[in-house]
Amino acid sequence: SQRIFSGIQPSGGMTLGNYLGALKRFAEKQNEGIETIYCVVDLHAITVWQDPAKLRHQTREIAAAYLASGIDPDRSVLFNQSQVTGHAELAWILNCVARIGWMYRMTQFKDKTAGKNAENSSLGLLAYPSLMAADILLYHATQVPVGEDQKQHLELTRDIAAKFNHDYGVDFFPITEPLIEGAATRVMSLRDGTKKMSKSDPSDASRINLTDDADTIAKKIRKATSDAHPLPETVEGLKDRPEARNLVNIYAALAGVPTEAVIAEFAGAQFGTFKPKLADLAVAKLSPITAEMNRYMADPSEIDRILGKGADRADAIAAPILKKTKEIVGMIGSR
């Protein structure tokens, strides 16, 4: 049977990239009737120091974003990672299966330490992918919807699962399948079409935040970098035009149509025509979510209650799998 797991870090606010590449699809999976487990990965967030008050706020904000985008806490399991101790426990065991060299090869680790002394980053930042493997394997999840940037981490998850199975001579952990689908698997910065849209980019104009109001969204899209040519007649015509391609893909993902359909509609149009249409669409799709997020954020105790209940349900699924893992490894104990 199928079981989906995915997570989002509370290391900043939610961006349009997180929404289109991940969150929007999470609710779709839930509505397809698949068992879905969604997490706010606060243990991952602290691999880079977080102000405690901000971490609390951002954890609730990500939870609010999940709820506002259609995650139903009765149909999906929704919780924050640190409340289910199995994540950290299984991560330790997987730390002893994974190799240090595998971690150094991760492009995210290289990116996050670029221009800095990697020796001075946290040990947790290096081991980050092993905790991510634990998140997934703790539930024997079979599928993981993510954006393109998480592909390498998911390949590593497969390698770790396979090495565990091999080292202990078992067929225990599933080999998880990444789900990287749709027009917006890699939403790019609005300032630079070759850079990923990211919550850690110093320029706020580079991204749309789920907390931005309608005027801010429209302004950011109007000012987004573009080129001087009209939109092409075919999708192939976007090939060497990263900014144009990004805006068209964003439109397609927001509208829920293929990129081809957007090109068919706007072939030959200037950005002066296309951008206002995109801004209108973005505001129409995102404003209800922002409003709903704000409604949830007005009562943090309700969010905390939902996360607590979700953690109980997650723990109930994880506990027997963790127990069996310890048995396989040779640890004594009946708990």
Catalytic positions: 112, 196, 199
SS3 sequence of 72-137: CCCCCEEEEHHHCCHHHHHHHHHHCCCCHHHHHCCHHHHHHHCCCCHHHCCHHHHHHHHHHHHHHH
Contact flag: residue 17 with ligand TYM (CB under 6 A): yes
Contact flag: residue 22 with ligand TYM (CB under 6 A): yes
Contact flag: residue 147 with ligand TYM (CB under 6 A): yes
Outline where DSSP puts E strands in 216-297: none
Give, as one character, the DSSP assignment of residue 60.
Answer: H
Contact flag: residue 106 with ligand TYM (CB under 6 A): no
Contact flag: residue 132 with ligand TYM (CB under 6 A): yes
Contact flag: residue 24 with ligand TYM (CB under 6 A): no
| Segment interacting with ligand TYM (CB under 6 A) among 98-106, 149-157, 303-311, 327-335 | 149-157
Find out whether 322 and 90 touch, Cβ atoms under 8 Å: yes
Q: For residue 119, say whether it is annotated as part of any ligand binding site.
A: no
| Single residue of 3, 4, 8, 314 touching ligand TYM by CB under 6 A | 8
Positions 185 through 214 that interact with ligand TYM (CB under 6 A): 185-187, 196-197
Local structure of 220: helix, strand or coil? helix
Tell me the C-alpha distance between 93 and 127, whole Å: 12
Local structure of 215: helix, strand or coil? helix
Q: For residue 198, say whether it is annotated as part of any ligand binding site.
A: yes
Contact flag: residue 150 with ligand TYM (CB under 6 A): yes
- 3-state DSSP helix/strand/coil % of the chain, to nearest 5: 60, 10, 35
Tell me the C-alpha distance between 88 and 117, whole Å: 26
**To 5 degrees, how large is the angle CA 68–CA 69–CA 71?**
90
Interface with ligand TYM: number of residues (CB under 6 A): 26
Q: For residue 132, say whether it is annotated as part of any ligand binding site.
A: no
Q: For residue 199, say whether it is annotated as part of any ligand binding site.
A: yes
**Residues annotated within a binding site:** 9-11, 17-18, 135, 147-149, 187, 196-200
Q: Please give the residue ranges that form the binding site for ligand TYM (CB under 6 A).
A: 5-9, 17-18, 21-22, 41, 44, 132, 135-136, 144, 146-147, 149-150, 153, 184-187, 196-197
**Residues annotated within a binding site for L-tryptophan:** 135
